Chains A and B, each alone.
Chain A
Amino acid sequence: EVQLVESGGGLVQPGRSLTLSCAASGFTFGDYAMHWVRQVPGKGLEWLSGISWNSDDLDYADSVKGRFTISRDNARNSVYLQMNSLRAEDTAFYHCAKGVSGGIAARPGDSWGQGTLVTVSS
Chain B
Amino acid sequence: DIQMTQSPSSLSASVGDRVTITCQASQDIDNYLNWFQQKRGKAPELLIYDASNLETGVPSRFSGSGSGTDFTFTISSLQPEDITTYYCQQYDSLPYTFGQGTKLEIK
- Closest Cβ neighbor of B95 among chain A residues: A61
Chain B residues contacting A112 (CB-CB under 8 Å) are 43-45
Q: Known interface pairs A112-B44, A114-B42. Does A59 touch B95 (Cβ–Cβ under 8 Å)?
A: yes
Q: Does the CB pair B95–A108 fall under 8 Å? A: no
Segment of A24-32, A44-52, A80-88 engaged in the interface with chain B: A44-52
Select the residue from A35, A46, A108 with max chain B CB neighbours within 10 A: A108
Q: A45, A46, A105, A107: which contacts B44 (Cβ < 8 A)?
A: A45
Interface residues of A, dominant DSSP: strand
| A95 interface hit (Cβ, 8 Å) | yes
- Closest Cβ neighbor of A115 among chain B residues: B43
Q: Known interface pairs A62-B95, A107-B32. Does A45 touch B89 (Cβ–Cβ under 8 Å)?
A: yes
Select the residue from A50, A109, A110 with max chain B CB neighbours within 10 A: A109
Q: Does the CB pair B44–A104 fall under 8 Å? A: no
